[in-house]
Amino acid sequence: MSQHGSCSKNKYKMGKNKLERFAENKTFNNLFEYSFERIKNEGFPLKGRWRQDFFKNDNPIVLELGCGKGEYTVGLAREHRDVNYIGVDIKGSRMWVGLCAARDEGLNNVAFLRTHIELIDNFFAENEVDEIWVTFPDPQPSKARKRLTGPNFLDRYRKFLKHEGVVNLKTDSDIMYEFTVETVKEAAYPIYYNYDNLYANDDELEVKKIRTYYEQIWLDKGLTIKYIRFGINRSRSL
């Protein structure tokens, strides 16, 4: 990966302003930035070819949607070097942190995609993605249609998830969790795990191993973390 930049020196603190981060982002060869206009005019050349042309392997592809600083994307990539991870978000200044960490640790199984998640099906071909993570998304209390586990988003994911592909939601929000459970049950999608208090049980789940900075703060404050893992039936739309 690119060795340009100096983000390792400040340990990803807030020392750099947004403009400096945006400038440094352009030095990373594992960051792809696409607006609606660019997708409309150019398309995306890696659609259907992520493994062949970028990762150079046949390993599974896993997305983290709304990845923020990329803590979960990078954390998963550390644990599973034989899986390809792609963090997706629109906030480039936050994504800079994950880009730095992946570069400094030599994680060649990490990429980041800066775009609106509403455009996500423009970047991946049918059956190209094995798994999706949605970690602590904005619950959108007054805008259910914008929730990343809502019917309109699940229909987008169906276009590129493998038949046996799964979606994971990890959240501290009762609104987001209850909405997702209801949506999944109404669609009769299979539920593999469902916890309204993830850390209150003794199950040894990998989802417990990686905690983001804010997740730990919330746990320290006594908030409960919810988790649901479910499949998407390709033959049925919502």
Q: What is the mean pLDDT of residues 135-158?
A: 96
pLDDT one-digit tens code per residue, 70-116: 999 999 999 999 999 999 999 888 899 999 999 999 999 999 999 99
Alpha-carbon distance values, 236 to 40, 103, 189, 190, 194 (Å) = 28, 40, 9, 12, 22
pLDDT at residue 213 tops 80 = yes
Alpha-carbon distance values, 96 to 3, 83, 214 (Å) = 14, 21, 17
> What proportion of the chain, given as a percentage, has pLDDT over 70?
92
Pairing verdict, β 226-231 and 161-171: antiparallel
pTM for this one?
0.90
Positions marked active-site: 138
pLDDT one-digit tens code per residue, 149-189: 999 999 999 999 999 899 999 999 999 999 999 999 999 99
Question: What's the mean per-residue pLDDT of the chain?
Answer: 90
Structure tokens at 63: 């997305």
